[in-house]
Amino acid sequence: MATRAPRKALEAVPAPVTGARLVVEALEREGVRHLFGYPGGAIMPVYDALPGSKLQHILVRHEQGAALAADAYGRVTGQPGVCIATSGPGATNLVTGIANAFLDSVPLVAITGQVATPLIGTDAFQEVDIFGITLPIVKHSFVIRRTEDIPQVFADAFRIARSGRPGPVLIDLPKDMGVKAVVPAEIRPHVEAVEAPEAALIAEANALIAEARAPILYFGGGIAIARAERALRAFAARAGIPSVATLKGLGGIPTDDAAFLGMLGMHGMRAANIAIDNCDLLICIGARFDDRATGKADTFAPNARIIHLDGDAAEIGKLRRADVGIAGDIVQAMDLLTAIPRCAAWRDQCLRQKAMWAMDYDAPGNGVYAPALLKTLSEAAPDNTIFTCDVGQHQMWVAQHCRFSRPQAHLTSAGLGTMGYGIPAGIGALLADPSATVITVSGDGSIMMNIQELATIRRYRLPLKIVLLDNAQLGMVRQWQELFFDRNFSEIDLSDNPDFAEVARAFGIEAFTIDHRSEVAGAVARLLGTNGPILCHVRIDPRENVWPLVPPNSSNVEMMEKAR
């Protein structure tokens, strides 16, 4: 009797999964641990799927705080920070943070709820075209049209956000796409191809380096993006070349390195700007010849040949023609730059000028001198400290006077100049690296932009140290009105500020106030010795300016300096 062949076992059919659950699973698959957000109607299905997941949601008190915290998280980890908001005002409140990440090339994924698909284009409640609004300030955008595409969209969004020149990616999720249950489509893998530097270009660069007698290494935020600190430091030490940094480049080479001349540009160090003016070779790595760094562009490094290395080919030649331009993997390119210039005399000259033009911290009077306070705090802080800054005079003082051992130790809004960045950035930095000591330096103007996030600090017991420099005015605007607008002080008076120490205590945060330089040492010890969050309110002289300063449309060597 013939025997029958066994029946093939029926393949198990995957159970349908809601779009919201697919969103949560996609975030988990990308290794996301924290997301920053604020719930609302259109995004509610995702919030319904969050409980029980591996994700810790951080409830901020304003969506802008979510985007800025995610920005800082991305800077510290090198992986996309994630923020989430509902449609309409929730989405539009993310816009400043998205723009901040775009201009500083920070990996970020922003998830916005949207009205249900049938309502799109009907002026429904809380409907805005966030896809269209953010087109100029994102690296890429997605609108979910089919629920089954969610896993692929999220995989692509994270890949795009962190690859090449990083940046923000927007995912707009209509409410019905989050509710619908489907069998998801498989994720198609994507392999990134990284091209090696061209041997001919490396040879040309090495030839220029070998010929140079007065070279300068000029580096920027691309060092942090590429995690290229090791290669940069090895190249600088091997070649013996003095270096300068942009605002975002600070820490690429430790700021206390003997051959580091300081930040260049509008508020840069005299030694840095003079060295750029006199160099015969400018080696630009991960910087983009930004106007704040170069001053009047046609007077910047006027006698220098230029080697430009950057991860983004679009930056090479955009603002300054390079004699040798190398795009792609800057770590690999730096490792191949092995020529040694004969520049010992030039290096000695640069170091003498650095010592001769060193900052003077002996200010007159008994008040707190902000640069001296920040220098003292920075020197007392542990090596794992991260400074996050708001925008204004205090931002420049931090850049000039604090020490940074790595780029991730200095988080600042460089391209957009976003007031209100400091406290949300401090939150993001602490969650990204809980072992770090995180210090936010803010001003009395900036802190009011996102002061509601003190509640977030309290809720999650984040030990953020806040130094608030209070001059009862918009200090940087006042400085420019004093110097360039005939002292016409228009709308800069903040003398009706609240007592910020009392405000912090009302949020449940320890706080104290100082206004005399004799109190500085005790304040620093208290800040660094307190386990929980703490705010030090520092009243400073409202007439104090940031020096040096390069006037607008001037060469970097035309620096205005404080009268001695």
Q: Are 498 and 511 in contact (CB under 8 A)?
A: no
Identify the active-site residue in 28, 54, 56, 125. 125
Q: How far apart are CA 337 and CA 209, in angstroms?
A: 8
Residue 465 is among the residues annotated as catalytic for this protein: no
Q: How far apart are CA 256 and CA 541, in angstroms?
A: 28
Q: How far apart are CA 240 and CA 335, in angstroms?
A: 15
Q: Are 546 and 397 in contact (CB under 8 A)?
A: yes
Identify the active-site residue in 148, 476, 479, 500. 476
Identify the active-site residue in 25, 30, 63, 315. 63
CB 329: neighbour CB atoms within 10 A? 18
- Three-state secondary structure along 16-74? CEEHHHHHHHHHHHCCCCEEEECCCCCCHHHHHHCCCCCCEEEECCCHHHHHHHHHHHH
Residue 125 is among the residues annotated as catalytic for this protein: yes
Q: Are 43 and 93 in contact (CB under 8 A)?
A: no
Identify the active-site residue in 175, 248, 354, 375. 175
**Nearest of 422, 486, 479 to residue 454 by alpha carbon:** 422
Its sign, for the CA torsion 546, 551, 552, 558, is negative
Residue 126 is among the residues annotated as catalytic for this protein: yes
Q: How far apart are CA 541 and CA 536, in angstroms?
A: 16
Asked, as a colleague might, if the bond just before 548 is cis with ω within 30 of 0, I would say: yes
- Both structure tokens of 295: 């001053």
Q: How far apart are CA 100 and CA 492, in angstroms?
A: 24
Its sign, for the CA torsion 330, 331, 332, 337, is positive
Backbone angles phi, psi at 154, to 5 degrees: -70, -40
Its sign, for the CA torsion 257, 259, 265, 267, is positive
Helix axes of 393-401 and 370-380: crossing angle, nearest 10 degrees: 50
Task: List % helix, strand, coil for the chain (3-state, nearest 5).
Answer: 40, 15, 45
Residues noted as catalytic: 63, 125-126, 175, 476
